[in-house]
Structure 1
């Protein structure tokens, strides 16, 4: 079924888009940064074109200068592979700079609804994208236990990085902040993306009979918004968001896109307009990583959610997500040791599968 045939898609889409901001922020974060990494590599041979994309990327104050070096985890070095593993913390926000620039951050004014840790092993053979639910109950340095997204509200980007490093024991190399405004354009620049709905689902806004669709950006909004009728509720909705990211990345990395100058240019313009990176993440490093990942394909990307023990209530009555501490510690240890594939094989991981309800 083509994009125009998706049920439940009507003229009130712009109004619906404004109500889906928080949900969409979760979806775009890793897509944008990885697309930039790969896209800059594709364009590396054309200096003028590369500079055009580089200029679109906004920069914000480096949050790492505020962190005491002695208190940070060390970089992970694999003696069998030249170079280090890399970890990128990606946050979703209404505005790239107002929410990402420490000079514009205000106490209590912003929280991030999307928190993803992207791990690139030293051998660059894969990318692992770990979702940290925003309500995950963790220790926030200097503030006691709280939902993990409160760290951004309490102390901005620097405290968010410090909280994640303390939780995982992993050194965060760079931080990206993404807004959602350009995501519809990104999806449409690709001519839509293919998404399969295995069973008919519906809510008050949209219905998707079972089938495979080529969804444009607006239609995909309805798909990721659905929660009612899904057995896992919000957790299933997160999987749908990951499924959409995977579909867009797969299309962006396809031969049809990479060999079409007009499609690739439209996609890269849309992505670079939607991302802000810390000042330390320079264009040279972006291009170097892009070249290292030039052979990456959809099957080399693994999407998973940190192991949890479901939901509960905190002592003060907040609805929270409880970490499976043993499972999470196993994941962090595997990322530090460069053995994520082995850890995934144990069956303890909540990995995005081929079927997404």
Structure 2
């Protein structure tokens, strides 16, 4: 994997927030901050994530190009800084990803979705046979992960990002904390204020959850949703928003084609999207099982998963979800 550009200073080996969420936030009313493009653009690190992806294997690109085309961003997250940070230290077989998310932004720029694919999903990995989907990054880095997801979903990936959930602590603290709705001890729910460290502990927990890793995925999404809500509330606080965008761009690692101009155009185009217009969900799964070699795996519900991804590929997700509410694991208002 070819390393394209690196900040001249020593940067933290982490990526910050899910790029799709960042763009939606920026588009919500603080796009003016892109006026300081020199400093913000200089903060970001880029890699040639698509360098080894064979064009002949890729899903067809939409006929419409530019700001009126749908956009799909593959986002990888990890608790391990080395596996989600500086791409120059990636080593084959050394890293796997803890979170895999497909961010879909509709062509009409009225809705968006964040679809988490369970990391233990048992899928075909081109050239390696069947394995857990997060092994694709271990086997071949970003290009193989992109190839694997495109082959699995039939959705063409436009951009790629590396994230680290530990970095969410810095982002959360730059906003003076967030509020996440959780069950109340006496029943019902309560909005709980959390610092970055508290939110990280909340998002990392899985052993005490009845639904294990699936619950962990929802907690990660709930944290993302809380960050979006806080930014929306504080968007007129210039000092806080400047600190937030600085923290994001200082850590994010994206593909080299995700240029600053592309981000700015996208941010402006999604300015009318609110938090209520973003659907957070987990890819449909049939349950857990054991592979032939004894690994604990997640079995995707292909009867539901495939039509869902076809709707994403055709940019028909809102109408599909409205017509098929059953079997869709959409993030609830209250997470366990």
> Out of 53, 72, 76, which is 2:40 matched to?
53
- Counterparts of 1:41 and 1:296 in 2: how far apart (Å)? 6
State the match for 1:355 in structure 2. 334
State the match for 1:324 in structure 2. 301
* Alpha-carbon distance, 1:291 to partner: 0.5
* Alpha-carbon distance, 1:227 to partner: 3.2
Q: Answer whether contact 1:33 1:275 (CA < 8 A) is retained.
A: no
- Counterparts of 1:192 and 1:198 in 2: how far apart (Å)? 19
For residues 51 and 141 of structure 1, do their structure 2 counterparts lie closer, same or farther at Cα, with a shift above 3 Å needed? same
Q: Answer whether contact 1:117 1:129 (CA < 8 A) is retained.
A: yes
Q: Secondary structure at the match of 2:313?
A: helix
> Out of 126, 141, 154, which is 1:156 matched to?
141
- Counterparts of 1:104 and 1:225 in 2: how far apart (Å)? 24
* Alpha-carbon distance, 1:50 to partner: 2.3
TM-score normalised to the size of structure 2?
A: 0.87
Where in structure 1 are there 5+ consecutive unaligned residues? 1-23, 202-208
State the match for 1:272 in structure 2. 249
Q: Secondary structure at the match of 1:182?
A: helix
> Out of 38, 51, 68, which is 1:65 matched to?
51
State the match for 2:198 in structure 1. 219
State the match for 2:185 in structure 1. 200
Deviates more, 1:165-174 or 1:39-48: 39-48
* Alpha-carbon distance, 1:78 to partner: 6.7
Q: How does 1:171-186 map to 2 (within 5 A)?
A: 171-186=156-171
Q: Secondary structure at the match of 2:114?
A: strand
Deviates more, 1:89-98 or 1:179-188: 89-98
1:193-245, Cα deviation, whole Å (9 max, x unpaired)? 112221439xxxxxxx9632211111212322333543222212221221111
* Alpha-carbon distance, 1:109 to partner: 1.4
* Alpha-carbon distance, 1:190 to partner: 1.4
> Out of 138, 141, 155, which is 2:126 matched to?
141
Q: Secondary structure at the match of 1:238?
A: helix
For residues 130 and 243 of structure 1, do their structure 2 counterparts lie closer, same or farther at Cα, with a shift above 3 Å needed? same
Where in structure 2 are there 5+ consecutive unaligned residues? 1-13
- Counterparts of 1:222 and 1:109 in 2: how far apart (Å)? 25
- Counterparts of 1:302 and 1:125 in 2: how far apart (Å)? 12
> Out of 185, 200, 212, which is 1:233 matched to?
212
Q: Answer whether contact 2:26 2:271 (CA < 8 A) is retained.
A: no
For residues 84 and 33 of structure 1, do their structure 2 counterparts lie closer, same or farther at Cα, with a shift above 3 Å needed? closer
- Counterparts of 1:342 and 1:98 in 2: how far apart (Å)? 34
For residues 244 and 41 of structure 1, do their structure 2 counterparts lie closer, same or farther at Cα, with a shift above 3 Å needed? closer
State the match for 1:245 in structure 2. 224
Q: RMSD across aligned C-alpha pairs, in angstroms? A: 2.8
* Alpha-carbon distance, 1:98 to partner: 7.2
- Counterparts of 2:41 and 2:59 in 1: how far apart (Å)? 30
* Alpha-carbon distance, 1:181 to partner: 4.5
Q: Secondary structure at the match of 2:50?
A: helix
Q: Answer whether contact 1:53 1:272 (CA < 8 A) is retained.
A: yes
Q: Secondary structure at the match of 1:125?
A: coil
* Alpha-carbon distance, 1:188 to partner: 1.4
- Counterparts of 1:137 and 1:46 in 2: how far apart (Å)? 42
* Alpha-carbon distance, 1:64 to partner: 1.6
Q: How many residues align?
A: 320
Q: Answer whether contact 2:178 2:194 (CA < 8 A) is retained.
A: yes
